[in-house]
Amino acid sequence: MYSSGRFACSYLQQAIVSRPYFYHRSTDLVTNALQNRKMASTGETRPKVFVTRSDIPQIGLDLLKAECDVTVWEQPSPVPRTELLRNIVGKDALFCTLCDKIDSDVLEKASPSLKVIGTMSVGYDHIDVGGCKAQGIRVGYTPDVLTDATAELTMALLLATTRRLFEANKEVYNGGWKSWAPTWMCGQGLKGSTVGIVGFGRIGQEVAKRIVPFKPSRILYTGRTERKSEAAEVNAEYVNFDILLKESDVVVVLCALSPETVNMFNEESFAKMKKSAVFINASRGAVVDQKALYEALRNGVITSAGLDVTTPEPLPVDDPLTKLSNIVILPHIGSADLRTRIEMSRITACNILQGIIGTQMIAEV
């Protein structure tokens, strides 16, 4: 572990306290830790960091380069597996994204030098967290900061799907728009509907708040635990999974990926939903059995679907789902708000630097 005197942190401290876009509730803890450490350059070996792609927002790279020797995969795309395994050797830290699979092979190559992994994501199912803990490797991530951006995108996807916006847009360009017709391109409104949210964490709660102004008749939610105080803010009802499926006009999935949620939306689940139901997934692709979803959409078991996440990613252009007209598929852009991505880069870099010197991260798994 690097001691507090090994490298200067004036730039890091300035970046943390400046709060350029968002204020993270854990930032003061980091700032206090830095204020208690007078860090000055001593000429000792600087920590070595590998960054798995070149197109992360610059603030993260600048923070790391000010304090560490940084090696970057100089392509705006995920680092090839062979390059990851080669470059991780001898590094103290790794800056990665959800595109990078950090498994036992990577950890074995990284041992014994690797001290910390920072992932520029809220999810960390791409990292062997158990293996990291066994080797004493700390893992930082970026929750909270992308909550609003993802909630906004979820609402956009929900409205685009229920009101058939992408279908209608295509008709403008392919000659399908002939004249006004009473039922042509009619979708479903949210007013008076029942919206079911699977996963009532930070993002689920923010989506519920954004749904309220559309005047639904009911908001249902389900998850591992009942959240009475948060639900009361939006008059949401806690129900079991089966009831939510049977009674919801729109099912919005925002749960975490876990062994319990893998393929939780399968043939049986879709069969329990209304034929008029709209299915929205903005969580993780693996919570859905995509073959079952395809059959449900093709055979009219449910009306339509909107996905911001798929398995795999990117989804092959010849995947059967891409041939359907009653589905909206987005390329996992839930957090693709520029200010949000900049803040994610900053937090990831700060997590890494704090992990190296052994102080509390902004957000640690």
Task: Report the catalytic residues.
Answer: 332
Report CA 99 to chain centroid distance, whole Å. 11
Give me the residue label for tokens 């200010």: 339
Whole-angstrom CA distances from 246 to 102, 194, 198, 328 are 39, 10, 13, 23
First to last CA, the chain: 19
What distance in Å separates the CA atoms of residue 121 and residue 142, rounded to the nearest whole number? Answer: 5
Both tokens assigned to 91: 């590094």
Cα distances from 332 to residues 47, 221, 271, 329, 361, in angstroms, run 33, 23, 26, 9, 27
DSSP secondary-structure letter at 120?
Answer: S
**Half-sphere exposure of residue 140: CA atoms within 13 angstroms, side-chain side:** 29
**How is residue 195 annotated by DSSP?**
E
Dihedral, 322, 327, 331, 332 alpha carbons, nearest 10: -140
Token duo for residue 64? 């790391």
Q: How far apart are CA 56 and CA 76, in angstroms?
A: 8
- Tally of CB atoms within 10 A around 44: 10
Q: Contact, 140 vs 364, CB < 8 A?
A: yes
157 CB burial (10 A radius; 0-12, 13-18, 19+): buried
Helix (H, G, I), strand (E, B) or coil at 198: strand
Q: How far is the C-alpha of 261 from the C-alpha of 67, rounded, in Å? A: 40
Give the H or E element holding residue 116.
Answer: strand 116-119
Query: How many Cα atoms are found within 13 Å in the side-chain-facing hemisphere of 119?
Result: 22
CA torsion through residues 328, 331, 335, 341, sign = negative
